[in-house]
Amino acid sequence: MRRLKEYPKPGPENSMYYWRSYVNFFKVAKNFIFISIGRYLPFLGLKRWLYRYGVGMKIGKNVSLGLMMMPDVLFPELIEIGDNTIIGYNATILTHEFRVESFKTGPVKIGRDVLIGANATILAGVEIGDGAMIGAGAVVTKDIPPGVLAVGVPARVVKKIE
């Protein structure tokens, strides 16, 4: 079950039209600059530092964030990544979603010793349990239990990891 908080749109246009009423423009500009730099940094320690202290992500020890990994620009502080986790090339972690009639936010919690494959997308409001593996290109739309392999669009558990 995704944990999402819903906000009604303040006017007649779609919710994305009002993005500045949900989050401060200067916060988003700062996040965009730090995340854009971080996406290309090859130095894992510096990248972790930048995302922890620059944009407020909660990142554990020895986390490896792959090249071009894209955290949410509006609410990166809602992302928590456990120790010794690997997030692959060009993976995306979202903590918000715009719908026509509303705007939603939700925290993303990724456990310890998790592997997220290249080009995977993690949607707002989900948890990925300790020791789970997410296949390349998967779209995680619901919670993934600990110690399993999940693949596909949407991601489905295919086996327990021994």
Q: Which of 47, 46, 110, 30 is nearest to 78 (CA)?
A: 110
Q: Which residue reads 């944009």 in tokens? A: 55
Q: Does residue 71 carry a catalytic annotation?
A: no
Q: Can you say whether residue 100 is alpha, beta or left, with left for phi > 0 and alpha for psi between -120 and 50 degrees?
A: alpha
- DSSP conformational letter for 21: H
- For residue 79, what are its two tokens? 């992302």
3-state secondary structure of 160: strand
Distance CA 78, CA 109 (A): 8
- For residue 23, what are its two tokens? 């989050």
Distance CA 29, CA 83 (A): 28
Out of 96, 115, 129, 148, the active site residue is 96
Q: At a CB cut-off of 8 Å and minimum separation 6, what does 45 contact? A: none
Active site residues: 96
